[in-house]
Every structure is written in structure tokens, then in C-alpha cells.
Amino acid sequence: MEFSKDALNIDPHKETERISNFITKTILINMHKKGAVIGLSGGIDSALSAALCVRALGPEKVLGVILPEKDSSNVSEEYALILADRLNIHTEKIDITPILEEFGVYKNRDQVVGKIFPDFNPSTWRYKVVLPHDLLEKDRLNIFSLIVQLPDGSEKKKRLSMQDYLQVVACTNVKQRTRMVHLYYFAEKNNYAVMGTTNRTEFHQGFFVKYGDGGVDIEPLAHLYKLQGYMLAEHLDIPKEILERPPSPDTYSAEVSDTEFYFSVPFDILDPFLWAEENNIPPAKICEVLSLTNEQYERLKKNIDRKSKATWHYLQNPPILT
């Protein structure tokens, strides 16, 4: 099989029709639902999923739900509303901050940040969690770090222990699971299906929350790599603001991209690398096309395999005894 930088190219018109037919058949015929509910985050994947639903079902059968909380980026709701206006779909908005406060999400998270940075002020400081970004430059462990941003714009950075990292992630994952509950409320109220927004790159690397953004009825994007999603989004006239916004989990008070937080490699390398590995392209050819050294190839493959191995069960039904 041939491999080049064009390997991920798709025919956007044919792919739009193929996915639209899949949505229509799955929701209206197989599931006997009347329409679709989708959480609008102001990001590329939810925008693409919503646009495909409108193509498949019509705008009157698509409901966009906006679920901000106090750590959400200021532009998330703004971009979600721009998209809804472009698609002519109805929206509902629920601020989930009070639920998260009652659950103790912010308190338990701030406890970790305050332990590491005793001067931390949650009212004026911002924070994010990141991985080392130099995966292709040198060997390193996947050790997460906490970065705090002070009011004067300066930053401080310290490594997170595994226990502290797990507590922070447990808190932030509650946000995704709270959103899932709200989406199913609106879905069941209207006899709609909950639409997924996870793409193939994220599925492969386990970059979603089990029973959170992974808790859906249908995944229309799970066969598309991130870069292919951008190709399709341009074809579907997704607003420019959304196309140019860096992909982000949008769960921390400071801006952090998906690459900083999880992937550690830009999508223009990661996606074709994943495609090549899945299609058994020889390592030498992968290195040639992506301008990687043998050492960089080995580091990237090791990192990808480690994440796939750690998250494989996300895609499985709960084990049962037979």
C-alpha cells in the first residue's frame, strides 16, 4: 500500500453523504428516535457532528445543548451560539457550576493545587495540567505537570505525583459525566439520540471520558482522523472561528490544547503515523514521509502503544462471567 502525506485525503462530498445516511438510518430506522441531541462545546468535533446531523435529519430535529461551567473558556459558549445560528438549530443552556460545586469538584481540585503551590488563590490564579511537549526530541516519561498562571501573567510549573494527578483528573472527569447526564435528560424528554463527537485519533489513544463524552448513542466521527475532520468541516462551512480554535479539553481554568494535555505530538504527524501503523506501512517509509529519525519513530510508537494499552477497555462492554 502506498503512503504519502496525502494518504488521509477524503472526498468531502461523498463522505458527507455516507455519514448522513449512517445517521439517518441509525437514528430514525434502527433506534426509532425522532432526532438528535448534541453537546455544543464551541470546538471542531461537536460542530462537525452537529452539521452532519442537520444534513441528515434537518435543523428542526437537532437540539444543541450548551453546558458551561466556571472554568469554561469565554469563547466556548460564544462559538457554540455562532454555530447554532449558522445551522439554524434550537439550543438549551444549563450552567453546571452549581452541580459541580455541590459535588466538591472545585474544592477537591483546589486542594491539590494549593498543596503544591501554597500561595494559590483560586479567584485570581489559573491552572492547567500538561505533559512534556518534546516527545520527538528526547526520551522522557509521561509525567504530568501542573502549571499555574499568576495575575501578572507569569507561570510556575511543578510535577504532579500520581495520586495528585488522579485526584485532579477525577474532578475534571465529573464535568464530562455531568454533561452526559444532561444530554440524556434532553434526549429522553424528546425521544432523541445522543450524538457522539469522538474522532478516530481520540478513540485510538483513549482520549475521552468513559461514561462522559464517551457515553453516547451513536458515534458519527469515530472513523475519521482529526485532520480528516477538519477537511470535512471546511466542506460543511463550519464557522472560521471554530476552525481556527486550537482543540482543547476546556476543563481547566487556563487554556490548554489537546496536544499539550495528552497527545504531545501535532496532528499532522500523529494522524498519518497512526494511519501508517494501522495499514502496516514499513517503519522506514513512515520515517521518510514524516521526516522522522529511527529514534523519533521508536519514541512515538512507544508512546502510542502505551496509551492504547492503558485505555483499551474504554471501548469494551463491562466484562461478564460466562
| 221 shares its domain with 177 | yes
Q: Which of 166, 184, 201 is the last residue of a domain?
A: 166
Q: Give pLDDT tens digits along the chain (322 positions).
A: 789 989 999 999 999 999 999 999 999 999 999 999 999 999 999 999 999 999 999 999 999 999 999 999 989 999 999 999 999 999 999 999 999 999 999 999 999 999 999 999 999 999 999 988 767 776 666 789 999 999 999 999 999 999 999 999 999 999 999 999 999 999 999 999 999 999 999 999 999 999 999 999 999 999 999 999 999 999 999 999 999 999 999 999 999 998 888 988 999 999 999 999 999 999 999 999 999 999 999 999 999 999 999 999 998 889 999 8
Q: Name the residue range of residue 108's domain.
A: 102-166
Tell me 196's DSSP state: P
Q: What secondary structure does DSSP assign to 277-289, as a single string?
A: HHTT--HHHHHHH
User: Residue 83's domain is classified under what CATH number?
Assistant: 3.40.50.620
Contact yes or no for 4/289 (Cβ under 8 A): yes
| 110 shares its domain with 93 | no
pTM value is 0.94
